[in-house]
Structure formats: C-alpha cells, structure tokens
Amino acid sequence: MFKLRKFSLNFREKLFASFFIVSVIPIVLLAIYTRSFIKNKYDYNFQNEIISDLNLVSQSFRTSQLNLSNLDSLSRDQNKLLTKSLNQSDKNFNLFFKTNLVSTTNDELYKSDLLDTRIDEDAYYNIVYLRKDFFSETEEIGMYSFIVGYKPFFDSKNNIVGLMSSQTVYKQNDINEELTEILTFIFGIYFIVIIILLVFVTFLTDRISKPILRLQLATERISMGDTNVELKIESKDEIGNLVDSFNKMSKELESSKDKLKKAEREAVWRDIARRVAHEIKNPLTPMKLSIQHLYEVYNNGNINNFPDVLKKTRNIIINEIDKLNKIATEFSNFAKLSGRNYEEVDLNEVIEEVVTLYKLAPNIEFKESLDRNIDKIYADRQELNRVFQNLIKNSIQAIEADGEIQIKTYKHEDCINAEITDNGSGIDSSIMKDLFEPNFSTKSTGMGLGLAITKKTLDEMKAVISFDSVLNKGTKVIIKFKPFNGNGVG
C-alpha cells in the first residue's frame, strides 16, 4: 500500500498561492473566454456572409426566369449554370436537386471525392422537414474544418425543389491565419500581463511574509531563552502593530526575567542565611551550657572538680569554635567573587597532592592510574586542589567499612578527563538532580555547600562534572577539562 505524503505549505507559499489564484487564474479564464468569443464571432460573421451570398444567388436565379422544377433534367451544359452565372465570383456555391448535386462552382472538390455529391442529411432534415429557411454546420476534410450554409429553393407554388449551399473551404485558411494572428496578439498581451502579475505577486508576498517570518524567528529565539530581542519594522499597519506588541512583550519578558533572577538569588541567599544561622546556633548552645556549668562549679566553691570542668569546657569551646570556623570558611568559599589566579596547571600533580593528604585515612586504599602524557589544563591551582579535596572527602565519607578509591586521568575526545571511583554507599537516583543545589546535603552535618562550590568552580574553569552512581555499590565522578592551548582554554 502506498502511503500518500502529507502535502503542506508554509505561510509564504499559501500567501503566494492565494494571490496567484486571485490574480492570474481570472486572466487565464478571460483568455480562454476571449478565444472562444472571437472564434464564435468569426463563425457568426461567416454565417451571415453565407446567408447574404445565398440570398443574392437565389434572387439572381429568380430574375433569370430559370425553370427550377426541371433541375434534374438539365443537360450537361446546363449543369454548368452556376459556373456561367457566377464565373466572376470568388465564392463557392453548390446546387442540389432533392438529395443530389446538379451544379457547382468547384467541380474539383467533388471529382476528387473530398466532398460528397449527396446533400448532408442534417441539412436536408432541417430545411425540408423542419422548414427552416437556413441551416449551417461545420464540416471537416481530415483535420481541416470549414462552415457550410444551406438555403432552400422554391418553385412558383412555393414548394422546395432544391437546396443551395455555400462554404468557406477556400477562405478557411485565410480565416485561420487571421484568427491565429489576432489570438497570438491577445494571448501575448495576456502572457505579458501574467508575467508582470507574477513578479508583482512575488514582491507583494515577500513584503507581507517577511515581517511574519522575522517575527517567527524572534519568537524561536525567545523560546530558547534569549529575551533581549527587538524587531525594527517601519510599518504603520496591523503587522506594524503586531511587531510593536511583540517588542513590548519582549521588554516585559526581559524585565520579568531579571526580576525572577533577582528573586531567585534573594530566595537562595535567604535560605543560606537561615541555614548558616541554624548551623551557628548549634555550636553556641553547648558553649553557653558549658560556660554556665563552669560558672556554677566556681560559684559553689567546688574547687576540687573545677580543673576538670575547666578542661572539659575548654575542649568543648575549642571544638565548637572549630565548627563555627568551618561553617564560616564554607560560606566564604561559596560567596567568594571571581578573582582567581588562572594558570597552566599539571592535573596529575594536583591530584597527587590531594591524595597525599588523605592517604592515611583508615581502612581506605587509594589506587592511582595517571596518564603522564596528558596535556596541561588552564585553572586556579588552589581552587582545583579544593575541588579534589571535596570530592575525595565525599568518597571517604561514603565508605562505611573497608573501601577503595580509584583515581584515573586520561585524554578522550580532545578533553582531559579525571575519574574518581569509590565503592561506597552510592547515591539514590531520585536525588541526583539536586546534588549541586546550594542548600542540599545527604549528610546529617554540614551545610550542603561543598558540591555547589565544586560545580561553581569547575564552571568558571569551563570544565564539566558528571556523576554515575549505583545505590549500595559506589559512585563514579567524571570531570572533563579543556586542554591548555597557550592562551587559555582551547
């Protein structure tokens, strides 16, 4: 089974087709009508000419006092009466008695069997039986057509004794040539008009559809996130009003987008501030309680226990201060503005420095597979060090018992890749999309800023980070860096 292909037109094609139908098709129909009208006009004029000629011939015979009742008994010489009577005429006439030809001005047409010597049955029926005064029809010789007219002859008693006919057989060629010249001239004018109309329709279609197409492209840009779009069309009609409305909408979208970004930033910072305040309160509470307990011991005069309580209080305060310092450091790193020192960095060296810091972690085995032939990258060395510290620390925290962390570097598809794979608890697929949110954390402690800082740092290095994790089996982190090309990132 053949499936018909769906045929559709775009706006410009529909507009062109509409203009074409409205403007060109009527001209084509007018041309067809003009040809038919001229052809019918010519036929009508020749019919009138034939009628006039036959009337003149009929009148000529009446005045010659010819005995029309004995046409069938004419001698051979008398059968040439039409030739003798009309030998100076350029017309073609034929005289029939009943149904047979008895005289003609053009013997060669009948002797060559081009024309039948018997009268046409339609002409005979219309004139003899229907009593018509004139009958005409179009006859053909091969591909050649011509008009034949018939008129009756009456005797003294007003009885039909014969039929006179005349045809345009010798004039038809001249008629056709003249008709062809006229129609060629008329159709030539129509053809020129059609070409002019096609050019005008194409111009008009382009002028009307161009603003619509520009408007379509502009809306596509907006749908892709580019709200800073403005069209400039000098038009005061409905399309101009439409473009003005679009430009107004675009400006409102840009303003709304800025307001939304601002609102989102404010919401994020409010949430971070709330979390920071919450995290700060946690260490302050035990510090307050410890100091109150120390004061009570001192105030009650319990000198024996005072040194132990003082030592315990000192340790508690130091630990909580360390927590506060950690909170402040993480928040500072997250909020830090760009002012980094970007330079050519050996990725393997940075990874080895970080691994050295964590190699003493209990029950963790590090396996390194570093490609020494990879290109250097363009990055801030300290920031890159913190990125790998955070990722490796996350891997260590995800391992509950004995574990293994594999670290690889290699070049793949014009990128310098670094992989960190652990066999820890893994990450649930339902929370993968939230890993880089500033306030998201899978741990009971911490602010959830670590991976957000990591993502922000790598984005500024034009690096890409991705996670591949299976719950209870482990996690693989892949970071793709662009190689250093001498002027920065390639």
What are 364-418's pLDDT values in tens digits? 899 999 999 999 999 988 888 888 988 888 888 888 878 899 999 999 988 999 9
Note the residue count of the chain: 490
The pLDDT, as a whole number, for residue 348 is: 93
What are 449-488's pLDDT values in tens digits? 667 778 888 888 889 999 888 888 889 999 999 998 876 6
12, 164, 199, 213, 240 from 204: Cα distances, Å: 10, 61, 9, 14, 16
Residues 6 or more apart whose Cβ sits within 8 Å of residue 144: 172
Same fold, 253-335 and 342-481: no
Handedness of CA 104, 107, 108, 113 (dihedral sign): positive
The pLDDT, as a whole number, for residue 355 is: 87
- The CATH number assigned to the domain with range 11-180 reads 3.30.450.20
The pLDDT, as a whole number, for residue 60 is: 67
What architecture is domain 253-335? Orthogonal Bundle (1.10)
Comparing CA positions, the residue from 106, 97, 99, 91 lying closest to residue 60 is 91
The pLDDT, as a whole number, for residue 337 is: 47
Residue spans of the chain under pLDDT 70 = 1-12, 59-91, 156, 168-176, 225, 227, 233-238, 275, 278-279, 282, 285, 330, 332-340, 438-450, 487-490
First to last CA, the chain: 54
Neighbours of 106 (CB within 10 A): 18
Enumerate the H helices of 141-237 as residue ranges.
172-223
Comparing CA positions, the residue from 401, 443, 441, 442 lying closest to residue 423 is 401
The pLDDT, as a whole number, for residue 421 is: 94
Phi (first) and psi of residue 18, to 5 degrees: -65, -50
Give the separation between CA 379 and CA 143, rounded to whole angstroms. 92
Neighbours of 384 (CB within 10 A): 25
Side by side, the strands of the sheet bearing 364-370 are 364-370, 403-412, 415-422, 474-481, 464-470
| CATH entry, 342-481, from 3.30.565.10, 1.10.3720.10, 3.30.2130.30, 3.10.20.30 | 3.30.565.10
The pLDDT, as a whole number, for residue 82 is: 55
Residue with tokens 């005349």: 166
The pLDDT, as a whole number, for residue 172 is: 58
The pLDDT, as a whole number, for residue 88 is: 45
The pLDDT, as a whole number, for residue 108 is: 73
Domain ranges of the chain: 11-180, 253-335, 342-481
